[in-house]
Amino acid sequence: MSDSTNKTREDWYDECVALQQDGELAQAVSELKRLIEAHPDYGLARLALAVFAQQKGDEELALESMQKACELEQDDPFYFTAFSALAIKCGSRELAEEALWKAQEARMAAQMKKMSELRKKELADREERDARRIASRKENGVDVDEDDEAEDAGTSNGASS
């Protein structure tokens, strides 16, 4: 393993995965522990440690590492899905079911956030369109009264359809 001080955490992670793929599971686990010590907030390294620890037969370390990875990446349903699969391999159906629920919650939260962002963009676009329309009417000498502006404001705020 090369000197860990002059490489990115991603390069270090890739080296750990290469060790595991080369059959050096114990060394891969050891290096992942060092990587996590240097970068405690690196969820992907914790996930890899969980998987490799389970392969090595250390289910306690596997579940502990996966739990921490999920805490770090709580908005990403992938981590909870991986936790569920790992928990099943470790014989913990209860943890597996809980992780699946959390994965579903994370998926729903992501969908709600995306819908909210789309709605905000839609409202901003409508406000911009209405403002351009009023400005155009004013430039063309069309009489724009307060009712027109209030109607446009009400429409852009979702007060009418």
For residue 110, name the pLDDT band (cuts at 50, 70, 90). Answer: confident
SS3 28: helix
pLDDT digits over 20-67, tens only? Answer: 999 999 999 999 999 999 999 999 999 999 999 999 999 999 999 999
Angle at 29 between CA 2 and CA 74, to 5 degrees: 110
CATH number of 1-73, picked from 3.20.20.70, 3.40.50.720, 3.30.9.10, 1.25.40.10: 1.25.40.10
pLDDT for the residue numbered 150 = 55
User: What value does the mean pLDDT take over residues 132-141?
Assistant: 86
* Closest-CA residue to 70 (of 60, 62, 85, 82): 82
Cβ-count burial of 134 within 10 angstroms (0-12 exposed, 13-18 middle, 19+ buried)? middle
pLDDT for the residue numbered 138 = 84
| Dihedral sign for Cα atoms in the order 93, 99, 100, 102 | positive
Percentage with pLDDT > 90 across the chain: 71
Read off the DSSP letter of residue 161: -
pLDDT for the residue numbered 160 = 45
What distances in angstroms separate CA 41 from CA 37, 45, 78, 140, 160, one per listed residue? 9, 9, 17, 59, 47
Contact 50, 62 (CB under 8 A): yes
Taking all residues of the chain, what is their mean pLDDT, rounded to a whole number?
A: 88
Angle at 142 between CA 141 and CA 144, to 5 degrees: 120
For residue 154, name the pLDDT band (cuts at 50, 70, 90). Answer: low
For residue 161, name the pLDDT band (cuts at 50, 70, 90). Answer: very low
For residue 31, give every residue at least 6 positions away whose Cβ sits within 8 Å of its Cβ, in sequence order, or none.
1, 12, 15, 16, 19
